[in-house]
A and B are shown apart, each in its own frame.
Chain A
Amino acid sequence: MKIIVCLKQVPETNNVTIDPITHNLDRRGLAGVMNPFDKHAIELALSLKDTADTDVTITLLTMGPDDYADSLHEGLAMGADEGVLLSDRAFAGADTLATGYVLAQAIKKIGNADLILFGRQAVDADTGQVGPIVAEFLHQPQITYAANLRLSGPNEVTAERLLEDTKQTLVAQLPAVVSVRSELNTPRYPTPRQIQLSFAKPLTVWHHDDLELDDQRLGQAGSPTIVTKVYAPAPVKRELTPLTGTPREAASQLITALKDRQLI
């Protein structure tokens, strides 16, 4: 069984600022780390590998600059078997559609994937779109926001998906694309020894010419959306209504106010 886990590298904190002169996002000095949600996808792959009757290989796939190899190494240290980095100037500036296209082409090149896993979304851009886009490009069924997943047959998975107030049970014949919720599992830590050994595992870099690509669908040219403005949200101006008197009186005023606001 072959599992591909797609992952993204994100800034280590969301505490980013706006350059007051250029109005661009100032990400200087922010180290990159693996998107925390993606670790749950890797953990799912590893737990399937630990428990499956058949041999499971886990390939990690990401698209980004060369330093995204850091996140691949982290995943390899958790126990994945190999990493593939898609890195090329032509891929830069991609929105979700152009990213999904290149990932889908790479997954075709890797070939024979039974399960393609994603984290629920990236903590920086918060879209969660790339998984479904890749599923569509590969013409595969998708299970998004899976809360658990198990192999229920030789070529079949059963998953639960939590919607706002319902739970769906889904059964998919593989191959399929799955994005996972973080409640699904607790990702293991890479052990110091696995960290050392991970640097001997295969890590391949594919550039533009390694893939079959339509240049019109790459990078900025292949991205329908443009960010026109970036700004820090203004603090909400609020009118303070004082609660007065004894604690009992003040509590009573608050209850009235919350009832007015339909909060209780």
Chain B
Amino acid sequence: MSTTTAAEKLLLQMVDDYTQKEIAPQDMPMDAAGDFPAGFMEKLTATGFLGLMLPQEFGGAGFGPEITATVLNHIARGNASTAVTLEGHFKTIDQLLKYGTPALQQQLLPTATDRIFAFSMTEASGGSNPMSISSTATREGNHWVLNGDKIMITNGGLAEVYCVLVKTAPTELSVFVVDQDMPGFSFGKREDFIGLRGTPVGEIVMDHIVVDDDHLLGNLGDGGLIGDSAHDDARVLMGAVLTGIMEHELKIATDYAKERKAGDQPLTALQVTQRKVADMAIRKETTKLLYQQAAHLKALGQPYSELAAMAKAHGSRAAVSAGDDALQILAGYGYSREYPVEHLIRDARALEIAEGTVEKMRSAIALAEFNH
């Protein structure tokens, strides 16, 4: 792992301070309300979080993949929804950096410090099989015309710029970029999910949106490639978010165990408590190593897809299990909605599904192993 630079140290200090004062206090209210509180995203934006990994030439801070993941880890200690909303934004910026034309980058990326970007693949006809989608881009004159309906988009409704996976031919997938200001663009319904309830997940409808050639990411037919790439970048960051969730769970469990007695013995002296806490710590640490290694490989320009899948596949179940252990240590309090443990389990559960189910990831990991 690389050493932390002075700037990164200062960044993490600021992130921890911001998380403790501005984000963590909203964790419970956010879960109850099912939304970010008023002014919350505005302050996050004003504090420059949206530009964290955006290169400086576009007005961002230009921090690298490793420290970016660490920042989301630290934010998720206070609240996972905030971290996931940033994850959705960052993975989209990554695809624009990898596949956008210079003209498109110059046009869009300077606005990414103030506007959230999102990446949308899923449709009602299916999420895991991209070929089943029915959104299309058809050529009309010098333009492309986009039609279709994308659902379950992370930050859908909050984001202003969307990368959309569409068919440019019956067996050809491509990715275009659309802006909420374009004629024909509208928002659909917001999902009522059981976890990560601050993060909006919603629908966009494309009704004859006309875009130029430069709004195509990569080449025609690169849709599958770019979709996979977006998954990889998301999964690295989700490993970081899951690590943060587990750190939160561990903190609640250990704080409680230190304060509480069972009969004459403190909970900390009981082997049943110790075993649970040890297992939680192992799960947290293994997830952390996986996401950090994935981010490290990404920073070095080496393949990181398999490790990113491992970080999410392992981390999501690990965080659900760690939450379950924390709940059991807190017993009645853990089962109560007055305490955050139960919603952390619901938060973690989302990441067994989003950006590829654990089942899909396991098959991807296995295929990679067969190909080694």
Contact = CB atoms under 8 A, between A and B. Distances in A.
B49 A193 contact: no
A70 interface: yes
Contacts of B63: 192, 196
A231 B17 CA distance: 30
B15 to A, nearest CB: 9
B18 A195 contact: no
Nearest to B43: A189
B209 interface: no
A196 B51 contact: no
B61 A191 contact: yes
A196 B6 contact: no
Given A195-B61, A196-B62, A196-B63, A189 B10 contact: no
B336 interface: no
Contacts of A192: 11, 14, 48-49, 51-52, 60-61, 63
Nearest to A191: B48
Interface string B22-55: 0000000000000000000000000111011000
A210 to B, nearest CB: 23
B56 interface: yes
A193 B14 contact: no
Contacts of B48: 191-194
Nearest to B21: A189
B59 A199 contact: no
Contact of A191 (B17, B47, B62): B47
A74 B13 contact: yes
B331 interface: no
Interface residues of A, number: 15
Contacts of A196: 7, 56, 61-63
Contacts of B60: 192-193
Nearest to A34: B13
Nearest to A194: B48
Contacts, number: 53
Interface string B333-347: 000000000000000
A67 to B, nearest CB: 10
A203 to B, nearest CB: 11
A193 B61 contact: yes
Interface size class of B (residues with CB under 8 A): 20 to 34
A195 B61 CA distance: 8
A73 interface: yes
A33 interface: yes
A73 B13 CA distance: 12
Contacts of B7: 195-196, 198-199
B6 A199 contact: yes
Contacts of B56: 193, 196
A244 B340 CA distance: 36
A85 B17 CA distance: 24
Contacts of A191: 47-48, 51, 61
The residue in B6, B13, B52, B60 that gathers the most chain A C-beta atoms within 10 A of its C-beta is B13
A167 B107 CA distance: 54
A192 B63 CA distance: 8
Contacts of B17: 189
A198 B6 CA distance: 11
A93 interface: no
A128 interface: no
Interface string A159-200: 000000000000000000000000000000111111110110
B14 A195 contact: yes
Interface in B100-148: 113
A190 B59 contact: no
A189 B6 contact: no
A196 B14 CA distance: 13
A46 B9 CA distance: 23
A191 to B, nearest CB: 3
Contacts of A33: 13
Interface in B37-93: 47-49, 51-52, 56, 59-63
Interface of B: 6-7, 9-11, 13-14, 17-18, 47-49, 51-52, 56, 59-63, 113
12 contacts: A70-B6, A70-B10, A73-B10, A74-B10, A189-B14, A189-B17, A191-B47, A192-B14, A192-B61, A194-B48, A195-B11, A199-B7
Given A192-B51, A195-B61, 6 more contacts: A33-B13, A70-B10, A190-B10, A191-B47, A192-B14, A192-B61
